[in-house]
Amino acid sequence: MESITKNRQPLSVLRAMVTRAYGAGQVDDGDGWVEELGHGWFNVAYVIRLRDGRRVVLKIAPSPEVEVMTYERDMMRTEVHALALVAGQTTVPVPAVHHYDPSRELCNAEYFFMDHIDAENLGIIGEQLSTEANDAYTEALGAANRELNQVKGDHFGSLLGGDPGATWRQVFTGIVEDVLRDGQRRDVDLGWDYDLIRQVLAERSDCLDEVVEPVFVEWDLWNSNVMVRDGALVSIIDHERALFGDPLMEAGFVATQLEAFGDPSGFVRGYGRAPSTPAERERRRLYNLHLLLIMVIETVYRGHTEPTQYDWSRARLGELMASFDSRR
């Protein structure tokens, strides 16, 4: 997937990174020792073959010269922290981090090396699988996501720190406000007035007060961030958007209200529950609003040159906003 946030580096820099992480003796000077992974949307990622034959993955953060959305700042540091939390406090499989370098000495951004996962990406192979196989994988994903949500935080918001006294209502409405300001800064046409969206959020934010315990939320756990092999979930990847919040914010629950996102039944079965009370369903609609705002606005920040995501996401945002209006 192409995006202006991908901070590609020349081979000389990649060799220097390998040397710093593994030593000069692990730099492979043969052919085909590096290959870019093209499926990601934000960071550039490479598969690197070391001299001893091991394959590892290198992720490099965007250049500081590229403007990103407010919530996308410090995402690489967030991912490294998230991987440590998940590995240390759950049985959910994730890649091990080998080396993290935030110094910006070898290039203009931080980077890290981690395990290469020898498995298939569920988001890529899903259409080739039977309904039964897909259901089994998404059920396993739901169970894994439930375990991730057992990790407790001492504040709402960023994994990297926050105000322990702030409520979930304060934090989440602030998160949405950041997204709206990002959209206004770049004059993104949502099809709806920005202040009307703020009004919708303000009128319904009471439902957020039920959330009093911060837990680890992956938020971006779509099938494309799931690696599978031989009927088993092998690894969860791309943890850079994780935060402490409400577990009903998880991506697996989106389709419980937005049919365009697929069939949520396998995930819900594995997780063990879905939004069920009026307040829970209202929170989920606010989380869908947040998601769709990002999906529309990020197309401008990523420099998309074709309108597919923008058009599709804006249409879904229109449907959601119309549903809010019908419930006034």
Q: 307's torsion region: left (phi>0), alpha (psi -120 to 50) or beta?
A: alpha
According to the model, what pLDDT value does residue 183 have? 98
Decide if 42 contacts 65 (C-beta within 8 A).
no
Residue with tokens 């981090």: 97
Q: Along the 328 residues of the chain, how does pLDDT read in single tens digits? A: 567 888 999 999 999 999 999 999 999 988 899 999 877 678 899 999 999 999 999 999 999 999 999 999 999 999 999 999 999 999 999 999 999 999 999 999 999 999 999 999 999 999 899 999 999 999 999 999 999 999 999 999 999 999 999 999 999 999 999 999 999 999 999 999 999 999 999 999 999 999 999 999 999 999 999 999 999 999 999 999 999 999 999 999 999 999 999 999 999 999 999 999 999 999 999 999 999 999 999 999 988 888 999 999 999 999 999 988 645 4
Alpha-carbon span 43 to 7, nearest angstrom: 7
Alpha-carbon span 237 to 99, nearest angstrom: 16
CATH topology of domain 120-326: Aminoglycoside 3'-phosphotransferase; Chain: A, domain 2 (3.90.1200)
Any idea of the CA torsion for 310, 312, 318, 321, to the nearest 10 degrees? -90
Structurally, what CATH architecture does the domain formed by 11-115 represent?
2-Layer Sandwich (3.30)
Listed by start position, the domains of the chain span 11-115, 120-326
Decide if 160 contacts 85 (C-beta within 8 A).
no
Any idea of the CA torsion for 85, 54, 118, 243, to the nearest 10 degrees? 20
Token code pair at residue 55 = 């394959």
Q: 192's torsion region: left (phi>0), alpha (psi -120 to 50) or beta?
A: beta
According to the model, what pLDDT value does residue 1 have? 54
According to the model, what pLDDT value does residue 328 have? 43
Instruction: Say which amino acid occupies 34.
Output: V
According to the model, what pLDDT value does residue 233 have? 97
